[in-house]
């Protein structure tokens, strides 16, 4: 499981974070919360947010379920952005996240690969 402080929400008509498998298919979203819309994301008082991404259940409000997959792609999608800017993300070891926020003791300690995310 990975945690990343992504930054501030983009100024766009609509935006979302979506997890895809390596063939750009989403898990069954009627069963797995594999995406967050801009309206779903819980932000900190300063406007930043953190996302927990992984196959193990988390009680964190910004957890994205990979449906058991340990490899895939995390995409930030924006519709009609006010400014076109590449996003920046910081990936941190989920063991550094407060246990009450991470909601899981099964963590994974490895770096993210680009363009996809390696959750091993």
CATH number for the domain that contains residue 90: 2.60.120
How many domains are there within the chain?
Answer: 1
Provide the residue count of the chain. 120
pLDDT above 70 coverage of the chain, percent: 67
94 close to 2: Cβ distance less than 8 angstroms:
yes
Confidence grade of residue 54 (pLDDT, cut at 50, 70, 90): confident
State the pLDDT confidence band at 6, using cuts at 50, 70 and 90.
low
Q: 62-98 pLDDT, tens per residue?
A: 999 999 998 889 898 999 988 887 776 667 666 665 5
Structure tokens at 46: 């300063």
* pTM score over 0.85: no
Closest C-alpha to 60, from 36, 39, 76: 36
Q: Which domain holds residue 112?
A: 2-118
Task: Tell whether the model's pLDDT for residue 1 goes beyond 80.
Answer: no
């Amino acid at each position: 499981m990975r945690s990343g402080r992504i930054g501030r929400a983009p100024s766009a008509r609509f935006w979302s974070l979506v997890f895809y498998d390596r063939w750009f298919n989403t898990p069954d979203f009627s069963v797995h919360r594999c995406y967050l819309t801009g309206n779903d994301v819980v932000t900190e008082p300063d406007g930043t947010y953190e996302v927990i991404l992984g196959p193990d259940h988390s009680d964190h409000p910004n957890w994205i379920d990979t449906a058991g997959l340990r490899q895939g792609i995390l995409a930030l999608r924006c519709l009609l952005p006010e400014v076109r800017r590449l996003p920046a993300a910081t990936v941190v070891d989920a063991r550094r996240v407060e246990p009450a926020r991470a909601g899981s003791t099964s963590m994974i300690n490895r770096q993210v690969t680009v363009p996809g995310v390696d959750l091993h």
